[in-house]
Amino acid sequence: MDATEIIGKISGILVLLSAIPYAWRVFQGKIKPNIVGWSLWSFIGLSILLNYQNIGAEDNIWPAIFSFTNPLIITLLAIWKKGEKIKLNRIEYFCAFFSIASIILWWYWLGNNNYSQYALYIAIIADAFAAIPTAIYVLKNPGGDRPFMWLIFAIGYGLAMLSIKEHNLANYSLPVYMCIMAIIVSIPLIKYRLKFKIPFKSWI
């Protein structure tokens, strides 16, 4: 097992761990996630995973795997715990459209690395639009979310960049985007806790 393979697996484990605190609270019934919304996140995660694999991702594929399984697990827990069923809003419909388009293009360009990267970029755009409501929410309500999972997520994808063997835009696009997105979401959460000297247990 070489260094990039080890780093790739560690980065995947970190992304997996980032979902545990949230999933545990769903299991306890302390959080009632929106089943429809998390189903969309799962679908977006699947489209990203399929396209990332199709462009030739190797050891750096692990974070993408768990970026699909994490929302899928939370969706299944939400169904089990009878979470909310709020209809998709306009942004989410937009994300769903782009996710479906990226999967259709994944199938059409299967095995063609040169064109598959464009399907990946479409899937990343869908994820970026899906993240907008979360970014707005944490800006307005920094006490309503916790930074730990976002920081672990960012570190996981940051490490994934070190596991890339084929250095090109397509391979770096996903970890760079995910890392930046997680940091953007975590900044107001961290600033709020530092400003009001909130105990560390509320960070997790």
Q: In this predicted model, what pLDDT tens digit does every residue of 25-37 receive, in sequence order? A: 889 888 788 888 8
User: Using 50, 70 and 90 to split pLDDT, how confident is the model at 189?
Assistant: very high
Percent of the chain with pLDDT over 70: 100
Higher pLDDT, 161 or 88: 161
This prediction has a pTM of: 0.92
Q: What is the pLDDT of residue 3?
A: 92
Q: How far is CA 90 from CA 13, 93, 133, 179, in A?
A: 33, 5, 11, 26
Q: What is the pLDDT of residue 197?
A: 92
Q: What is the pLDDT of residue 91?
A: 86
In angstroms, the CA 109 to CA 118 distance is 10
CB 37, CB 132: distance < 8 Å: no
Per-residue pLDDT at 42 exceeds 90: yes
Q: What is the pLDDT of residue 35?
A: 86
* Token duo for residue 123: 């899937």
In angstroms, the CA 69 to CA 45 distance is 8
Q: What is the pLDDT of residue 82?
A: 82
Q: DSSP letters along 146-182, please?
A: -HHHHHHHHHHHHHHGGG-SS-SHHHHHHHHHHHHHH
In angstroms, the CA 163 to CA 183 distance is 20
Q: What is the pLDDT of residue 139?
A: 93
Q: How many CB atoms lie within 10 A of CB 170?
A: 20
Q: How far is CA 110 from CA 46, 54, 81, 85, 101, in A?
A: 15, 7, 37, 34, 14
User: Using 50, 70 and 90 to split pLDDT, how confident is the model at 9?
Assistant: very high
Written as one letter, the residue type at 97 is F
Q: What is the pLDDT of residue 33?
A: 81
